[in-house]
Amino acid sequence: MKKDSNIFLNNAANFVTLLNMVCGSISIVATMSGKYKTAIAMIWIAAIADRYDGMVARKLGTSSDIGVQMDSMGDIISFGVAPSVHAYSSVFIHAPNNIKLLGGIATVMLICAGALRLARYNVIGLDEDNSFMGLPITIGGSLLAVLLIFSRNISPVVYVVCMILLSILELSKIRIKKR
């Protein structure tokens, strides 16, 4: 009986990570349904969940390899695929063909850069000075979500440039101190 009472506590961090995944997935569905405000809100809620899942795991002493992998899967969904699909659907889909093509390239580029950045982090981890190498995907995806609030007022070309820049920053060797 005692062992069963700890099931929630032993998996609390994974539940928070699942919240990240669920929010990212809802964001994608909302985008496909034209519910762009809901899609952005889900990315932000996913960012909050992502902020706390590791803290919960460390506080409860339940960090695990599966939790690390789940976190990366959640991050690619919520901060790679969701904001990129949102950008393509709300910004590039109605743009002239040449911009639509560039937007499609930037969309795929940002998703792939995010996946590569997460893979690098899973293999290398934090530097000895507790810093990340490259812009964390959570920051990149959240920044794009903020920018998407203004999608009707900003040229699609600006989004192409921003998405390519975010891709480069995620894959860069710049150091960002973990807080």
Instruction: Supply the pLDDT for residue 151.
Output: 83
* Helix ranges (DSSP H) in the chain: 2-5, 7-32, 36-60, 65-75, 82-87, 97-124, 137-148, 156-171
pTM of this structure: 0.90
Which class does domain 2-177 fall in? mainly alpha
Tokens at 15, concatenated = 């539940």
Domain ranges of the chain: 2-177
Token pair, residue 65, equals: 């390899």
pLDDT at 8: 58
pLDDT in tens, 27-48: 999 999 999 999 999 999 999 9
CB 156 within 8 A of CB 103: yes
Residue 95 has what DSSP assignment?
Answer: S
Per-residue pLDDT of the chain (179 residues; tens, 9 = 90+): 344 556 656 788 899 999 999 999 999 999 999 999 999 999 999 999 999 998 898 898 888 888 889 999 999 999 999 999 999 999 999 999 999 999 999 999 999 999 999 999 888 876 677 777 899 999 999 999 999 998 888 999 999 999 999 999 999 998 887 76
What pLDDT was estimated at residue 129?
A: 75
